[in-house]
Structure 1
Amino acid sequence: MKHPFLLLLLCCVFGLMACSRGEAPAQGSDGESAGNSARGDDAALRHVRAGTRAMTQPGAAVDYIAAEIEGVIMARTKSQALMHYDGYRVTLTTPAGRVTQIKFDLVEAKPTIKQLTEMFGKPREVRKGMLYEHESVVTGSRIVILAIPVSMPADEGSLVRQIIIEGARTR
C-alpha cells in the first residue's frame, strides 16, 4: 500500500456516511418523514391565520399585512412582495399597493388538511384542492382559502404544499 492514510480516511468517511443513513427517519409515501406526515407541521399556521384576519380588513395595504403576519419584505416589485420564513415563503400580490392575494409556498413547514379544517371549518373539495371560506364578524368581509395538497385526492392526513388566501368574489 502506497497511501495507508488515504485508505484509512476513505474508510472513515464511508463508515460515517453509512451510520448517518441508518439514523435517518422513516420516509412517508410522498417523501416526508413519518412523524411529519402523520401530524403535519403547524409552524406556518399562525401566520396563515394572521394573514386571513388581515385580509378581512378594508384596504389591506402591503405594510399592514406584513406587520400582521410578522414578516419582513425581502423583495418588492409593482405587483408583488416576497417574504421568507423558516420552512416556507410568502408572496403578496399587490396591484396598486393593496394586497389582493397571499400565497404561502410551504417547503418544509407543511400542515395537514385536518389542521386547516380545525382552524377554518369544513372545506369544499375543488379541482386544485380544498376550499375553505372565512367571514369576518367585524367587517363582514368574505375570504377564501385554497389549500393545495402534495398529492390528490386529498384526505384529512394529506400534507398541504401551498395555501392561497384571497377575497371572495361577490355576486
Structure 2
Amino acid sequence: MSSSKVGRIVGKTDRTRFVVSESSGCLDLSDATSKFSLSRTHFDMNKFGKPAEEDFETVSDVVKTMIRAAPQLVLTRSQYDGKHKIDVSLRGVPVVNRFVGRDAEMHELERLLVDPVHAASRRNVAVLHGLGGIGKTQLAVEFVTLAETHPDRLASQHALAIAYRANGQT
C-alpha cells in the first residue's frame, strides 16, 4: 500500500494518507487470485500518460492474460447482436387517458427506430420538436409503451403500412 497526497488532489489541506488498502483495491482477496500493485490512487486509476508507462504495461499484460484464458467469452461479448436495449422508466411522466391517434407520426417513429432497414446497424435517435403543448411527450410515451407492451404490434403495424404503400394507399 502506498500513500498519496489526497488533500492536494481534492484541493484541500496537503496531508499524506493511504488511499487504497488491499481490501478496497481488490475484488477477491483469496490466494487463488493474482494481485498486481499499481502506483495509482482511485483518482488516477485509469489515466496513463503513455503505453510505455510501467503501470500501463502491468494492466496490459493482465488484460492479455485474461483474453488468452477466456477467448470465447471475450469474443461473445464483443460481437454486435444488432439489438440496443435501453431501459426506460416512465415513472413521473404525465399520461393522458385518451391518446388521440397520430398514425403518421407513430409510423415515422417506427420507421426510424424499429424498421430493420434503419435500426439494424446502429442505435437510432428520433427528435420530436414543435411548439409547447402539441403532444410531443404523449407521442413519445405512447410509442415507448407500445414498443414495450406489444412489440409484435409495432412490427405488424409497420408491415401493414408497407403493404398499404405498396398498393398506393396511405
TM-score scaled by length of structure 2: 0.23
Higher-RCO chain (CA-CA 8 Å, sequence separation at least 6): 1
Higher-strand-fraction structure:
1
**Structure index of larger Rg:** 2
